[in-house]
Structure formats: C-alpha cells, structure tokens
Amino acid sequence: MDRRTAIQNLALVIGGAVLLPRCSKSNPSAHFKHFDITFDQQTLITDIAEVIIPKTNTPGATDLNLYGFVMKMVDECTKKKDQEAFLKGMAEFEDVPKKMFSKPFAECNKKEKEDVLKSFEKKDNSYSKELQAFYQTVKGLTVFGYTESKYFMTKEIVYELVPGRYNAWYPVKNGKAVAKNG
Amino acid sequence: MSTNTYDAIVIGSGISGGWAAKELTQKGLKTIMLERGRNIEHVKDYVNANKAPWEFEHRGGRTQKMIHDYPVLKRDYPLNETNLDYWVDEKESPYVEVKRFDWFRGYHVGGRSLMWGRQSYRWHDTDFEANLKDGIGTDWPIRYKDLEQWYTYVEGFAGISGNKDNVPILPNGNFMPPMEMNCVEKDVAERFNKFYKEHNRYMIIGRTANITKPLPGRTNCQYRNKCWLGCPFGAYFSTQSSTLPAAVATGNLTVRPWSIVTKILYDKDTKKAKGVEVLDAETNKTYEYYAKIVFVNASALNSAWVLMNSATDIWPDGLGSSSGELGHNLMDHHLGVGAGGVIEGYEDKYYFGRRANGIYIPRFRNLNGEKRDYIRGFGYQGGGGRDEWGRSIPEMSIGGAFKDALSEPGQWTFGMGGFGETLPYHENRAYLDKDKKDKWGLPVLAIDATCKDNELKMRIDMANDAKEMLEAAGVKNVHTFTSEPVLGRGIHEMGTARMGRDPKTSVLNEWNQVWDAKNVFVTDGAAMASTACQNPSLTYMALTARAANHAVEELKKGNI
C-alpha cells in the first residue's frame, strides 16, 4: 500500500472522507466498489440531496445521511451501463450552474440551487441523456432513502412492526399518511 | 430392524411432504422425511422476520451481485435481499431451458411452504370433469365428492380464512373468519356484485392460509404482511408452523436434511419399491433407506426427476414411464395480465395494518353454456390500496413543500391480475439432460414447455375483461397490462406424473399410486391431470391426506 492510499484509507476510517483536505479532481477521495469520486463530487451530491429534501423544522438529507444511501445504491444496485451514465452525467452537471449563474453549484445560494434543479424538472429541457439520468438517479434515491428512513417511517408516518389488527376504514389525521403498507 | 429401515419414506418437506409426514406418523407409521437442503427451524431461523424496512441495507432491493448470481430468480419479484436464503443456489443446481421456463425453487426443510402465496381455493366438479368433456389429456380419476371430505379436513387443520360466498363455481370451505376488505374494496365489490348479479361474476375476499383465530401453537395473523420472511407467530400455514410439529409430536418422525434422493429402489420381484438411495449433500456419501411405502413430494419437476432416475434397468425412462407420460404434460398457471386504475374520492379514509391478502374473482368464462374462442378460464387476484406518498405536482418537485407532501397519503388505486388455466400438452415436458451435471454430479432437468394458442387467446380476455369489469365497478383511468406468456412464473408446476384411469395414458392411479409400483405415491403438483385456474396447494394437501389414508389402509390389508 503506498502512502497516499494509506492516508486515504485512514481518513475513511476516522469518520468519512469529508474530513479529507480538499483535493483535486484527479485525486479521488471516496472509493466505492465500482468507481471512485472526488471530494467535489461528494459535496455536489450531498448538496443536491439537501436541496431536494432540505432541513426545515424536520431533518433533511444531510441529517439523514442520504448521500451515503444514494452512493451505496449507485455502487451496489445499479447496472454498469447506468453507473457509467451516472458518472458521465455527474461530470457534465457543473455546466448547468455555470451557464445559469456563472459559478459552480457549491457557490450558488439556496434560490439559485433550487433554480438549477428545477431546470431539470422542466419537460422541454435540452440536457443530455446522461445528465438527466444523473439528476433523476440522485433525486429518486434521495426520495426513496428519505421515505424508507427510520425517521420518516416512525416520526412522519406510523410504522408498527406488529400491527396486530386490520382496520379497514381509518380516518386520515392532519393530512398525514397513517401507515406504510410495505 | 436396521436403523435405516422405517415404515414410510417421504421425499420432500414442502406443503405436500409435510402433510404426508403428518398423516403417516399420526397413523402410527415410523416415518423418515428426506429433505435435500438445509434445516430451517421454526421462528429461530427466520432471521429477517423482525427487521424494520430501514434495517435492510438496500431497503429490500436487489444488488447487481444478486442479479448476477440468480439469473432465473431475477426474472420476477422473488429476488430481493429480504429472504434470499430461502431460494435455491442456481449455480449448484442448474437446469436447462430448451425454452424459457422460470423455475423458482426452495431447497430446505419446509420448501416453498415458507414462501408460498397462501391463496387457498377448492376445485369444483367443472374442473374435475373438464378433460373428459373437452377430450383433452386424461380424465381425472376422481371427482369433487372424492376430495370434499379431505378438503374439509385439511382446511380445518391448516387454517384457511375465508367467507362462505356461495359462489356456484367455487365451493365454500371449512373456514376461519374472513379477513376484511378495506373501505374502497368494499364499495368496489358492492358495485361489482350488483352489476354482475345476473352474470355469475363475484368479487370476494381472498381465501388464504393465514389464520384469523389461534390454533394450537399458532397465533392468529398480526397483519405484518411479511409472510415470505417466515412468520414468528406461525400465522400462516407452512410445514414448520403446522404439519411438522404435529408429526414430531407423534414420536414417529425422523427428519433428515441434506438428503438428495437419487433414486427409488425398485424390486422387480415384488413389483414394489423397497426404499430409496440418498446422496448426502454435505458429505457426498451414499446411503440406502428402506420402507414399506414411499411418498414422493419433491415438487412436480423434482418428483418427476426422482422417478426418471429410478428402475432404469427395467424402464429406460424411469419408474412410471411405461405410459410414456412421465415428465410430460408440464403445466403452470399463466399470469401477468390484468388491469388497474384509480379510485376518486375517499381522501379522508385510510386503513391500518398490512393485510397479506386481497380480493378474488372466481372464474366466469366458458360456463353456463358460454363458448369463447378458447376453452377453460381464469380468475383474478388483486385489491385496492392507497399510494404511499403525495401526487407529483411539477411546481412542487423539490424542497420543503415537496418533503412535506411525501408524508401525505396519495391516490387510491385498484388493480388485479389473472391466473389462467394452462392445458396439458404432451409435448410440454421435462427430461433428463445427461450431459449437464449439478454440483453433485447428478444429471439435471431440461425443460421444454410453452404457452400455446388456447392460453394466448385466453390472455386477450384476461386483459379486456379486467378493464371492462373495473370500469363497471367505478374504477377510473383503467389501463390494461400484459407480459410475455412464460410458464413457470406462476410457481404452480403441475402434471409431470399425472393421475388417470388408464396405465397406458397416466402415471398414477386414482389413489396417487404409481401404476408400476403400487407402494409409491406421488401427491404433489406432479399428480395433476389439469390445472383449473385456482391456486393449487390446497388440492395437493387434500390429495395427500386422502392418499396417506388409503396407503395405511392398504398396508393394513396387506395389499401393498
């Protein structure tokens, strides 16, 4: 093991790559089973997830470590072809804030970040297939990770491991779903 | 008496094997149940049964590694991380698909009784008479009256919840109280049943082997909808929850896991089986076990495999092959066709608890003189439910308001899919491929079976009728769905050693005895001469209990 790898591994061990000093794009900061990504890219995905599911008076994507879930799913549950599209799309992503606001996503304010992501929600956008795939993957997995999180299932809705009963007609209270059916 | 000698041998420990073991041991026979896979101990080995959804690494999904390792199982819903251990290792136990055939297997104590769908419906005389009337396959050697008391018996012990709906084509059973339809299903069913009152079409609550009242050693269903993980409450029928403890309690049962039965030992002088040869899957050592009777309950295809490997010095194609039908007439239910739509309103209503059951629409086609451009029919399973999260509103696609909307209940939906009868075709078959071997050096099955014209025509009605009926019952925006007509994916393999009236055209007689060896009984899906469209396991249970009773009577009389 060379020294650089050793330091990287150590950094991962002591609490995640976010502790690493900022490194260049040619210097991968997070190793997954099937690819590496840079520190900037980690930050990008974390930021996108937080814009989709922001911290309000309840926890957001960062609080719930949805970044970790998104990357686990991309790494382990996604076809190689789709991983490649994801990585290619991710590499293209910074062009969007640059074109819209002449700065990288990380330097955009909250409103600007939202505008960047909303541009993907427009049906007639002209983004490449890969760029679209990247955004939709991050969004889909962020939402999936959120609605399958312990926080969501126990605090936002009701999840009982052993319901013990079937109530065929149950009032909806406060506009909230009362139960997860899965 | 040698330690390898018993009164009875049961090959396989799934739904029918468990029943055979229970019946034979309770009638006083020292019985050994041979299971090719590992043991799974009730409750203790249901390792994922008490996990919350968020405790699964991929939230219940499938990894690329799983998809790579399970090229067959990946084709449908069973492949996921929650009960992967219950499915066969496909690398160890391959088979050959001459044509695509989805074979989903469970090689362990309990077999697929741990993962089955639990829907339990009696057959009707229409089903038993169908082959004779249509001049297809072989006539069933039994009728409803032969099986009726056995249905009542197995329903009472297994615990089937259901409603006595008095549907002419679907006999009532010996039921526990039914599960309840949710508020939307009740209204849809009411409209449906009113609209089709004169047409003999009924929407009823599913009849399921989930108990709604306690049975000895078993707690009533807790509405977890996690049956396929194994139930810590024993609330659904499985070998482990139901027949195995009863058999063990007699003191007459020995269970031997890791025991691949390679052949039935046939004695040509007595024209009977004297026992079986077993390959220990862990040690690769060979053993012989001897008994007066042998029950073959390895599931339709593997029961045929055991027979094909047996007595080949007398019949090159195996024990029971003298008719030329062993391994032939392979059937399944064809499915993956139906319709779904949305229900307007009910915004202030929901339901609570996860009910592992749905609605059922019994067969209505080609009855009462109707003649479609195909024969037989299909039933539907489905249900209504409420989507889990908010409607997708474009301007609310990200951010705080979007996050809040995710916890709101969504649209009510209603959908159903058909289960279609598949006809027995001689050319739909499985046979030994001696060039390909499994991990233990044993020849594997090659499977060559397809849906044909009758099934394909039926599938058109399966889609259109679903749409028409849902619309009549007030479901909106109804769309149909269809899929490739593939056999196997119904996981209802049947017919490979069919019952009949004539040894020239069938493998088994009216008591499930192999014509060529009367002390060998095959009582799983292999025995079926036709499939009807009802889920078949309840009928295997009834056939098994009936055959076991007959076997013991014949033993006592000295006839076998």
Q: Are strands B293-296 and B286-290 parallel, antiparallel or unpaired?
A: unpaired
Task: Write the Ramachandran bin of B376: left for phi over 0, alpha for psi from -120 to 50, otherwise beta.
Answer: left
What value, to the nearest 5°, has the Cα angle with vertex B465 and ends B460 and B471? 135
* Least Cα separation, residue B128 to chain A (angstroms): 36
Instruction: Please report the pLDDT score of residue A29 as a whole number.
Output: 81
pLDDT at A27 over 50: yes
**End-to-end CA separation in angstroms for chain B:** 19
Band of pLDDT at residue B201, cut at 50, 70 and 90: very high
Cβ separation of B57 and A72 shorter than 8 Å? yes
Band of pLDDT at residue B393, cut at 50, 70 and 90: low
Cβ separation of B350 and A179 shorter than 8 Å? yes
Mean of pLDDT values over B523-540: 98
Q: How far apart are CA B382 and CA A145, in angstroms?
A: 28
Query: What residues of B are in contact with residue A181 (Cβ under 8 Å)?
Result: 225, 354, 385-386, 388
Could you give phi then psi for residue B541, rounded to 5 degrees? -60, -45
pLDDT at A16 over 50: no
User: For the segment A136-179, what is each residue's pLDDT rounded down to a tens digit?
Assistant: 999 999 999 999 999 999 999 889 999 999 998 888 876 666 66
Q: Residue A164: which domain range?
A: 27-177
Token couple for B13: 């420990």
Q: How far apart are CA B530 and CA B492, in angstroms?
A: 12
Query: What residues of A are in contact with residue B389 (Cβ under 8 Å)?
Result: 147, 177
Token couple for B203: 């929407």
Closest residue on chain A to B405 (Cα): A176
Query: What residues of A are in contact with residue B180 (Cβ under 8 Å)?
Result: 166, 168
Helix (H, G, I), strand (E, B) or coil at B524: coil
A154 domain residue, yes or no: yes
Query: What residues of A are in contact with residue B400 (Cβ under 8 Å)?
Result: 54, 56
Is the ipTM beyond the 0.85 threshold?
A: yes
Token couple for A81: 């072809």
Domain count, chain A: 1
Q: How far apart are CA B362 and CA B338, in angstroms?
A: 14
Give the one of A73, A153, A163 whose C-beta lies nearest to B58's C-beta: A73
**Is there a contact between A177 and B407 (Cβ–Cβ < 8 Å)?**
yes
**End-to-end CA separation in angstroms for chain A:** 45
Q: Using N-to-C axis directions, what is the helix angle for A129-147 and A80-93, rounded to 10°?
A: 100
Cβ separation of A153 and B53 shorter than 8 Å? yes
Task: Write the Ramachandran bin of B259: left for phi over 0, alpha for psi from -120 to 50, otherwise beta.
Answer: beta
Cβ separation of B180 and A76 shorter than 8 Å? no
Q: Which amino acid is at B228?
A: W
DSSP one-letter string for B35-96: -SSB---TTTT-TTTT--GGGSTTTT---HHHHHH-TTGGGSTT-STTSGGGS--TTTS--E
Tell me the pLDDT of chain B averaged across its residues.
97
pLDDT at A94 over 80: yes
* Least Cα separation, residue B61 to chain A (angstroms): 8
User: For the segment A111-145, what is each residue's pLDDT rounded down to a tens digit?
Assistant: 999 999 999 998 888 999 999 999 999 999 999 99
pLDDT at B500 over 60: yes
Cβ separation of A152 and B406 shorter than 8 Å? yes
* Least Cα separation, residue A151 to chain B (angstroms): 9
| CA proximity to B489, closest of B228, B35, B117, B107 | B117
A91 domain residue, yes or no: yes
Interface test with B, best of A166, A170, A173, A174 (most B CBs within 10 A): A166
Cβ separation of B389 and A177 shorter than 8 Å? yes
C-alpha dist (Å) from residue B517 to B11, B307, B322: 16, 11, 11
Give the one of A72, A117, A163 whose C-beta lies nearest to B224's C-beta: A163
Cβ separation of A177 and B52 shorter than 8 Å? no
pLDDT at B84 over 90: yes
- Tracing tokens 């399973």 back to the chain, one arrives at B381
**Is there a contact between B122 and B170 (Cβ–Cβ < 8 Å)?**
yes
DSSP one-letter string for A111-150: HHHHHHHHHHHSTT----HHHHHHHHHHHHHHHHHHHTSH
Query: What residues of B are in contact with residue A168 (Cβ under 8 Å)?
Result: 180-183, 185-186, 351
A114 domain residue, yes or no: yes
Cβ separation of A167 and B59 shorter than 8 Å? no
The DSSP secondary-structure symbol of B217 reads: T
| CA proximity to B405, closest of B422, B387, B420, B417 | B387
A145 domain residue, yes or no: yes
Mean of pLDDT values over B66-77: 97
Please give the distance of CA A122 from its chain centroid, rounded to a whole number: 20
Cβ separation of B353 and A163 shorter than 8 Å? yes
pLDDT at A5 over 50: no
| CA proximity to B101, closest of B413, B401, B445 | B445
Give the one of B59, B182, B406 whose C-beta lies nearest to A168's C-beta: B182
* Least Cα separation, residue A3 to chain B (angstroms): 31
Could you give phi then psi for residue B115, rounded to 5 degrees? -115, 10
Cβ separation of A172 and B63 shorter than 8 Å? no
pLDDT at B2 over 80: no
DSSP one-letter string for B266-288: EETTTTEEEEEEEEETTT--EEE
Give strand pairing partners of B276.
B264, B289
Query: What residues of A are in contact with residue B406 (Cβ under 8 Å)?
Result: 143, 146-147, 152, 156
A60 domain residue, yes or no: yes
A103 domain residue, yes or no: yes
Query: What residues of B are in contact with residue A113 (Cβ under 8 Å)?
Result: none
Mean of pLDDT values over B211-217: 98
User: For the segment B403-431, what is each residue's pLDDT rounded down to a tens digit?
Assistant: 988 888 889 999 999 999 999 999 999 99
Band of pLDDT at residue B261, cut at 50, 70 and 90: very high
**Is there a contact between A76 and A33 (Cβ–Cβ < 8 Å)?**
yes
Q: What percent of chain B has pLDDT over 90?
A: 95
Cβ separation of B349 and A143 shorter than 8 Å? no
Q: What percent of chain B has pLDDT over 70?
A: 98
Q: How many CB pairs under 8 A join A and B?
A: 147
Give the one of B65, B223, B398 whose C-beta lies nearest to A51's C-beta: B398
**Which contiguous run of DSSP H or E holds residue A67?**
helix A66-77
Task: Write the Ramachandran bin of B491: left for phi over 0, alpha for psi from -120 to 50, otherwise beta.
Answer: left
pLDDT at A19 over 80: no
Cβ separation of A164 and B65 shorter than 8 Å? no
Q: In this structure, how many other beta carbons lie within 10 angstroms of the beta carbon of residue B369?
A: 5
Closest residue on chain A to B62 (Cα): A77
Instruction: Please report the pLDDT score of residue A2 as a whole number.
Output: 45
pLDDT at A17 over 50: no
A17 domain residue, yes or no: no
**What are the start-end ranges of the E strands in B36-107?**
96-97
Q: Which amino acid is at B266?
A: Y
Instruction: Please report the pLDDT score of residue B389 as a whole number.
Output: 65
pLDDT at A182 over 60: no
Interface test with A, best of B387, B403, B406 (most A CBs within 10 A): B403
